[in-house]
Amino acid sequence: MEYKAFGRTGHTSSRVLFGAAALGKVSQKEADTTLSLLLDHGINHIDTARSYGDAELRIGPWMKDHRSTFFLASKTGMRTKKEALEELKQTLTRLRTDYLDLWQLHFLVAPDEWETAMGEGGALEAAIEAKEQGLVRFLGVTGHGVDAPSAHLKSLEVYDFDSVLLPYNYTMMQNPYYRKHVEKLLTVCREREVAVQTIKSLARGEIRDKEKIHATWYDPLTDEDSIQKAIHWVLSNEQVFLNSTGDIHILHLLLRAAQKLIIKPSDDEMEALVEKESITPLFT
């Protein structure tokens, strides 16, 4: 597993971060098996959220013996200071820890929600207060959709966040509007040493089967060769981290691909993958 500095936090994180949305609806036994897999592959960074079902509850028991093993991140979707602080309290209790390494304002893209969170009495005030009290060490912001990069740029003008999180895969980066704003965001983050986390590396598109098979809300890649190409395309950008896909049954294939020598697939190879897997942009 490759490792790199997680922005300016002083922590050296595995290039693959464990996306704990995968634990939202699993048993503790399944979660503990997943922990073993993470440890075997050298994953030292967990990214979860209060809104990820039972994920925080499943991670909590791990902290007794492994708190120092992991850089532990969670998120709040609340927009007011009062609500966000209450959610942080719940998160710390559920995770059985006294502090978070990273607390993130989750899915902060919609203009009205952004104004509330960043304004007087908003979630940003909660984040700053929590940091001052030692409940969290670093602060970040996350987003989905084609407007996530521009929203993050706006957020970074208001507060010097330590990390951002956004969708990043070959198909989305073929959108000129999205690519333009992602590239601008990457430049700003590079200059300011802001860590860049990416999601949806294995997204094929919206769910196409009548019966939902995987834990993800979208249709993921499952073929091992396809997974490797998609993962290597993301990780070939040395600036970014890759948050693993939200299904524990795909995780071992993703980790196996990430531990191979990272060689960026050519555009022709990626176009062939798009055609083979009928990949469509998850966000437009």
pTM for this one?
Answer: 0.97
Mean pLDDT value across residues 242-254: 97
At 57, is the secondary structure helix, strand, or coil? helix
Interval 138-191: pLDDT, tens? 999 999 999 999 999 999 999 999 999 999 999 999 999 999 999 999 999 999
Please say if the pLDDT value at position 117 is more than 80.
yes
- pLDDT for 219 equals 93
The two structure tokens encoding residue 188: 């700003």
Interval 164-179: pLDDT, tens? 999 999 999 999 999 9
CATH number of 3-277, picked from 3.30.465.10, 3.20.20.220, 3.20.20.100, 3.40.50.10490: 3.20.20.100
Q: How many CA atoms lie within 13 A of 226 on its CB side?
A: 18
Instruction: Spell out the domain ranges in the chain.
Output: 3-277
Question: From residue 277, how far is each of 26, 47, 221, 266 by CA, in Å?
Answer: 28, 28, 8, 16
Distance between CA 49 and CA 178 in Å, rounded?
A: 25
Pick the range with the lowest mean pLDDT from 106-115, 212-221, 247-256, 258-267: 212-221
Question: Residue 80's closest CA among 50, 121, 132, 130?
Answer: 121
Residues 6+ away with beta carbon under 8 Å from 220? 202, 203, 204, 214, 245, 247, 250
